Structure 1
């Protein structure tokens, strides 16, 4: 399909009026390229492999024809039965898929019913009750659905959708998926949706697809530089705390932000560090229970927290022969850098630089979604410069692609665009924030391994005390409940209230006027100048406050002569 070919609009896709009404309520003006091409093929009943990057509308690509197909079958159906399966690799993705399907089927009343047995509840009885009502669409992980195969009748399945298909096998669901396929009828429509066409997708394609059409949306890995800016700060490990503190306290970073680190302990260390400065944040990592992860994401999306600290562990790329870690310690269904739909993210901060190019792409993909602008700011040490260079080369090649759709064919090699620097150097000098260094280093040292350990133990205790499943146990064993509540108190870091404020005397001279204009600083409440206010207004549209204008001009400005 050529780029100049006219795209079909929603009203031209032969969708029910109730579906079109839901689309209008969501504010969708026109379908994306992948939606306009794939939906007619799916409505014809063809097996399709959809390859497109995150944020291109893949969920709606299969949800719209799926709802339309159910509405058509309901006209002549004699009984209620499960007719569609949507398999996702994680509980969070199951929840997101269910929400999208419910939004698109909202105007259909109770004609189309959806049940999520993976992310809604861990109670087996609740899940079995939901399946006993025979919903039209069941959303689940392969292992969760296989566990309830004796309850749900899979012989009437008409459509199988595998979302994020390249992650299903990577997360260890290959055996479960192969066993699940045996429960399905011999004839059904299959849809594989993936961000990449990997070897796992090819194997899955041979298991469940017949004469499939492969749609590959060849486009840049990330949005254009006009929508997503990439910047870096050359910083060693000892410099990172002071830089992060200065950026947040001077509100040089504005809006909702995701701070990425490379392991779980660093999540809690950064959170304890920020707490000492009165900066609220939440933590997301693979060791948290699924319900807590979903609740944390929901709070962040609703604006309860403006900063979320996420660990990006290499759970997808285990070396050959290496055994997976103990499931009691990690949930392999969690991946913060990919799949989860963080909403309204303005900035991605790589406090720990990604270990490879792919991780950088996935992290950066959390921001600049839809028509929103975003920024990626990375702390890069000398040892990480080669990886940074590899990222820049990948972006330079990727941004040379023109979005186009290929059917059962690979695209030509992309041409490199005439772009000099993709990841620009952020104008930031450590000597300008030297006053922050002493505070930051003291607070960083206070977040010791013992403090991190105690914080995690305290969270585990809270989860045990608030667990619904254990309430009955504690009612019969009250001594255990008392022992848990009166256990040795966890040591906490003493938070000093004065650290939450930035006094005027430690503000860098080059940034003082801009910082004083910010409403979040204590000094701004005391002093506000006309010049500072105009400077703030000039840069208010940039979520990551690049200090080139103010920093460069004020650094070279002549000093004012003192009156004699």
Structure 2
């Protein structure tokens, strides 16, 4: 059965939700439900099995979380005992944590009536997981393998009382190697329960999963494009070869042509660290996210970025999905695709330093920005060899936004003249060459060493083997790249003439170093510094502050 788009979008207060849930929704600042929420929530409240397909950033997590909480509140009115009544499955620890946080925020006004436990979290301690399950939370969030291990062990968790099964990012579950675990887990569930599959795409894996756990489901395929409209998300590109990309990135970030929170995407893990070391040399702070980092580090990195501790995150997209039958599909802690599922908050820009290898990856990367009602941009650096994929992406976007003329470019050419950044090239190339394979290897070894020294599980081992701890601490130091402070400054003479009037707040040298002393003067100075239209006044202010005082003539 296929459900088409409703004629009228229902509001939250029209969805028959509890007042405590509506209070939490209002606190989160959600003014009205998204299209998928207003369509799916009434069906889920009726108890139907539903396959929810909606684009990234459309509010899929809240789509199943709101009716799930409502269902638990209703059942608590006549419940005779506390039990686990809902199971939410997700393919990675990051997505499990993300789902738990959303559910907790929506259930915050319910007090302790609705309890949630995430046993996939950053801790792999089986004792901690058993303790969480022994308290019989209403909702358990987990990867299929973790909850299956406890179900087979018996005694701790009883899944026979499950009333609702939710599979988030359903198209990734089998692709990440959980198919056998999922089939075993289904056998531990009661014969009758409500099932919800949530996915950005409906693949063959989702169809097979639907046959395993859904009965007469409603499939929601809303009439909406895979990406948000162009007035909300702009697509731009710069035609650049490999040796041009460092200089372009240098100019974009140091001249602040790209502002706000940004995700820089590359195609493999080593490139993550190479770009990270490159940015470090030019004085730009950034964090790294890739599948080879331990789960707790990945979760902490995402949290720090979302909190605003970093404005730039460098993420790799290793394409586990493109080879579901190959080695990359084997389940381990390595599976984490930064372009899928993870809710990076308030991202203004996606920069494709390496152009994605296929159309699907481009769409998922672009989905990291312009989420909700926010605006965003995608800027791609495209070389000649990446041209065919770029053309395929543009054709896909043209078919998605059918109203566009055939001869009109969907991915606009960014107005960027390579000859105007020649003065940046020698600086950028020096920094890029310094980030050698050896430097990347040393940086990663230093990161692993730090993780070992800070690991809680190894504290007991090091207490009994102090010589090993001393050897690790006094190991040969890494050959780190020498950071040259002058490279982080952009002298005024290398700034293109066309940009000097509009940049306004590129890094300067000595004159700006002298800040006004009073708090009021400082605030006024900062306002003028951040206003591109006030550049000339900032310069006058700086000169006036830095000019030597004239001595009064003796009378």
TM-score for the superposition, normalised by structure 1 = 0.88
Q: For residue 397 of structure 1, what is the aligned residue in structure 2?
A: 399
In the alignment, structure 1 residue 311 sits paired with structure 2 residue 298? no
In the alignment, structure 1 residue 245 sits paired with structure 2 residue 241? no
Pairing partner for 2:328 from 320, 324, 329: 324
Instruction: Please give the residue correspondences for 1:548-559 in structure 2 after superposition, counting only pairs within 5 Å.
Output: none
Displacement over 6 Å in runs of 4+? 526-529, 532-535
Q: Point out the more displaced range, 472-481 or 115-124.
A: 115-124
Kept in 1, the 8 Å contact 2:4–2:220? The answer is no
Instruction: Please give the residue correspondences for 1:141-540 in structure 2 after superposition, counting only pairs within 5 Å.
Output: 141-149=143-151, 150=154, 151-318=156-323, 320=325, 322-324=326-328, 331-400=333-402, 420-515=408-503, 517-518=504-505, 520-522=507-509, 525=512, 536-537=532-533
In the alignment, structure 1 residue 126 sits paired with structure 2 residue 122? no
What whole-Å deviation, never above 9, does each CA across 1:199-254 have from its counterpart, x for those lacking one?
A: 11111011001111111123111111111111111110111111111111111111
In the alignment, structure 1 residue 14 sits paired with structure 2 residue 16? yes
Displacement, 1:416?
6.0
Say if 1:522 and 1:216 are closer, same or farther in 2 by CA, change over 3 A: farther
**Unaligned stretches of 5+ residues in structure 1:** 401-414, 540-564
Cα distance in 1, alignment partners of residues 491 and 324 from structure 2 = 50
What whole-Å deviation, never above 9, does each CA across 1:248-290 have from its counterpart, x for those lacking one?
A: 1111111111000010000000110111111110100000000
Kept in 1, the 8 Å contact 2:83–2:136? The answer is yes
SS at match of 2:161: coil
Kept in 1, the 8 Å contact 2:54–2:221? The answer is yes
Displacement, 1:342?
0.3
Pairing partner for 2:71 from 52, 69, 72: 69
Displacement, 1:166?
0.8
Displacement, 1:538?
11
Say if 1:533 and 1:307 are closer, same or farther in 2 by CA, change over 3 A: closer
Displacement, 1:534?
11
Cα distance in 2, alignment partners of residues 3 and 278 from structure 1 = 49
Cα distance in 2, alignment partners of residues 240 and 56 from structure 1 = 33
Say if 1:520 and 1:344 are closer, same or farther in 2 by CA, change over 3 A: farther
Pairing partner for 2:92 from 42, 66, 90: 90
Q: For residue 557 of structure 1, what is the aligned residue in structure 2?
A: none
**Unaligned stretches of 5+ residues in structure 2:** 515-523, 536-555
Say if 1:105 and 1:222 are closer, same or farther in 2 by CA, change over 3 A: same
What whole-Å deviation, never above 9, does each CA across 1:127-174 have from its counterpart, x for those lacking one?
A: 110000000000000011111112210011011001111111111100
Q: For residue 56 of structure 2, what is the aligned residue in structure 1?
A: 54
Say if 1:4 and 1:289 are closer, same or farther in 2 by CA, change over 3 A: closer
Kept in 2, the 8 Å contact 1:115–1:139? The answer is yes
SS at match of 1:338: coil
Displacement, 1:183?
0.3
Q: For residue 404 of structure 1, what is the aligned residue in structure 2?
A: none
Cα distance in 2, alignment partners of residues 81 and 325 from structure 1 = 34
Kept in 2, the 8 Å contact 1:504–1:523? The answer is no
Kept in 1, the 8 Å contact 2:176–2:330? The answer is no
Q: For residue 407 of structure 1, what is the aligned residue in structure 2?
A: none
Cα distance in 1, alignment partners of residues 180 and 367 from structure 2 = 30
Cα distance in 1, alignment partners of residues 40 and 405 from structure 2 = 29
Displacement, 1:3?
5.5
Cα distance in 1, alignment partners of residues 372 and 307 from structure 2 = 18
Kept in 1, the 8 Å contact 2:285–2:312? The answer is yes
Displacement, 1:535?
8.3
Say if 1:524 and 1:425 are closer, same or farther in 2 by CA, change over 3 A: farther
Kept in 1, the 8 Å contact 2:4–2:223? The answer is no
Say if 1:522 and 1:4 are closer, same or farther in 2 by CA, change over 3 A: farther
Say if 1:369 and 1:520 are closer, same or farther in 2 by CA, change over 3 A: farther
Displacement, 1:514?
2.2
Cα distance in 2, alignment partners of residues 512 and 392 from structure 1 = 33
Displacement, 1:521?
4.2
SS at match of 1:470: helix
Displacement, 1:431?
1.2
Kept in 2, the 8 Å contact 1:52–1:218? The answer is no
Displacement, 1:323?
2.7
Aligned residue pairs total: 519
What whole-Å deviation, never above 9, does each CA across 1:71-123 have from its counterpart, x for those lacking one?
A: 11111111110000000111111111111111111111000000000024221
Displacement, 1:513?
2.2
TM-score for the superposition, normalised by structure 2 = 0.90
Kept in 2, the 8 Å contact 1:171–1:332? The answer is no
Cα distance in 2, alignment partners of residues 495 and 57 from structure 1 = 43
Cα distance in 2, alignment partners of residues 332 and 526 from structure 1 = 45
